[in-house]
Structure 1
Amino acid sequence: MPAALVTGASRGIGRGIARRFAADGYDVAVNYRSSDAAAQNVVDTIETETDQRARAIQADVGDPDAVESCVEETVDAFGSLDHVVNNAGINEHQYTPELSPEEFQRLLDVNVTGTFAVTKAALPYLEDSSVDEGPSVINLSSRLAHAGADYEPHYASSKAGIIALTKSHALEFGPTIRVNAIAPGFIETDMTDATTSEESKAQKRQEVIPVGRLGTPEDIGQAAAYLRDAGFVTGETLNVNGGQRMQ
């Protein structure tokens, strides 16, 4: 049975991707940093809704030793690792005058170095994969990687770095492993609920999103499933934003 590791999968976008992969016939490692109950809920949901196995695995992707253990536990649980989705990340709304170098570095350590570390740890197992569509890595970037953000320059910078890392790894790992990225637009999650008012969300729907609604974690799960199976696509960034930013 093919297996996938989804980091930061206890809620939001990660949860949506984990559920989609399980619905498509993959065993799923549900990585999380601190939300034990939420991660177990994702596992229980997957095992109730599908015939697939799921395992909650605690690891901070900013800790290289924890990353190694997470990947090894995934392989021990399922016998293989065929796809990796690097979704784990942190975000803080801070302007440059308020932002310390240590805070800037911590966000880069989790968002960029964490993505690199998980991919590196998974590499030997992905190279051994025999799935028909071929193994892949999918990295979560953001529309802000293209647009920038005056209120979170460290976050936008990290997401731009993920796109560069995606292209570099696609070049390095081909033709064995495909590497792509998703750049979500405004997606309704716990994180956006905590930082965005209903008035602001309504304004985005009406004024800046041509399809007229906010995105959902299921929308990103659908995009991840496409990139997982798209055997002639690598090094690309799929913008999933309802037309909010067209290129």
Structure 2
Amino acid sequence: MPTALVTGASRGIGRAIARRFAADGYDVAVNYRSSEAAALEVVDSIEDETDGAAIAVQADIGDDDAVEACVETTVDAFGSLDHVVNNAGINQHRYTPDLSPDDFRRVMNVNVAGTFAVTKAALPHLEESTVAECPSVINLSSRLAHAGADYEPHYASSKVGIIGLTKSHALEFGPTIRVNAIAPGYIETDMTDATTSEEEKEQKRQEVIPVGRLGKPEDIGQAAAYLRDASFVTGETLNVNGGQRMQ
């Protein structure tokens, strides 16, 4: 079976991507940082509902040594690595006066440097992949990379960096490996539930999002599956936002 590593896959968007890949016939490594029970639940659901295998792999994506071990564990378990989804990331809702340089660096380290580290560690294995549609890397950016965010400038900046990294790696790795990004809009996850009131959600549905609803994690899983298989697409950022921001 083809194989995939999905970082930050114990919940939300990462969980949906891991489950979508498994449903499509992939063996999946479910990376998590601290939510072991949730990651094991994802693994159990994959093994119960599909013919694929799954493993939970603990690693803080901000730790280079842990990243190396995560990739090697994946390859040791499955024998190959064909696709990487860099979903792991952290965020804090803070305005600049309340944002310390250390907080800024931590978000950049996990979101951008971590994405780089996972891709670099996976590169030799992706180069050896024999999947017909070409191995790929899919990076998770955000609508805030385009719009900015006064309440989380470090997070928005990191997501801009991911788009730049995506384009650079697409140029560097082609034609052997394709590299694309997804920029989700408002997606209903634990993170948005914690920071967005029901009134704000309803306002977005009615006034901001043309399709009239917030996104679901499964919408991003569908987008990731498309980019995984789209053999003539590389260096692109796919905006999945219900029409909130049109380019």
| Shorter-chain TM-score above 0.5 | yes
Distance 1:192 1:42 in 2: 20
Please say if 1:194 is aligned against 2:191.
no
Which residue matches 1:171?
171
Which residue matches 2:225?
225
Which residue matches 1:3?
3
Q: Cα offset for 1:241?
A: 0.1
Distance 1:90 1:110 in 2: 7
Q: Cα offset for 1:36?
A: 0.4
Distance 2:197 2:214 in 1: 13
Which residue matches 2:92?
92
Please report the TM-score for the alignment, with normalisation by the length of structure 2.
Answer: 1.00
Distance 2:175 2:35 in 1: 37
Identity over aligned pairs, percent: 85
Q: Secondary structure at the match of 2:182?
A: strand
Q: Cα offset for 1:82?
A: 0.1
Q: One-letter code of the match for 2:174?
A: G
CA-based RMSD of the aligned residues comes to 0.3
Which residue matches 1:203?
203
Which residue matches 1:81?
81
Please say if 1:28 is aligned against 2:28.
yes
Q: Secondary structure at the match of 1:211?
A: coil
Which residue matches 1:70?
70
Q: Cα offset for 1:156?
A: 0.2
Question: What per-residue deviation string (whole Å, max 9, x for no partner) do you get for residues 161-180 of structure 1?
Answer: 00000000000000000000
Which residue matches 1:49?
49
Unaligned runs of 5+ in 2: none
Which residue matches 1:101?
101
Which residue matches 1:160?
160
Q: Secondary structure at the match of 2:85?
A: strand
Q: One-letter code of the match for 1:49?
A: E
Q: Cα offset for 1:143?
A: 0.3
Q: Secondary structure at the match of 1:85?
A: strand
Please report the TM-score for the alignment, with normalisation by the length of structure 1.
Answer: 1.00
Question: What per-residue deviation string (whole Å, max 9, x for no partner) do you get for residues 115-134 of structure 1?
Answer: 00000000000000000111
Which residue matches 2:239?
239
Question: What per-residue deviation string (whole Å, max 9, x for no partner) do you get for residues 31-53 of structure 1?
Answer: 00000000000000000110100
Q: Secondary structure at the match of 1:56?
A: strand
Distance 2:77 2:206 in 1: 46
Which residue matches 2:131?
131
Q: Secondary structure at the match of 1:10?
A: coil
Structure 1 runs of 4+ with >3 Å offset: none
Q: Cα offset for 1:110?
A: 0.3
Which residue matches 2:110?
110
Q: One-letter code of the match for 2:227?
A: L
Question: What per-residue deviation string (whole Å, max 9, x for no partner) do you get for residues 189-231 of structure 1?
Answer: 0111111111111110010000000000100000000000000
Question: What per-residue deviation string (whole Å, max 9, x for no partner) do you get for residues 93-132 of structure 1?
Answer: 0000000100000000000000000000000000000001
Q: Secondary structure at the match of 2:151?
A: coil
Distance 1:214 1:49 in 2: 27
Q: One-letter code of the match for 2:36?
A: D
Unaligned runs of 5+ in 1: none
Q: Cα offset for 1:73?
A: 0.2
- Aligned pairs for 1:143-158 (under 5 A) are 143-158=143-158
Distance 2:147 2:209 in 1: 15
Please say if 1:121 is aligned against 2:117.
no
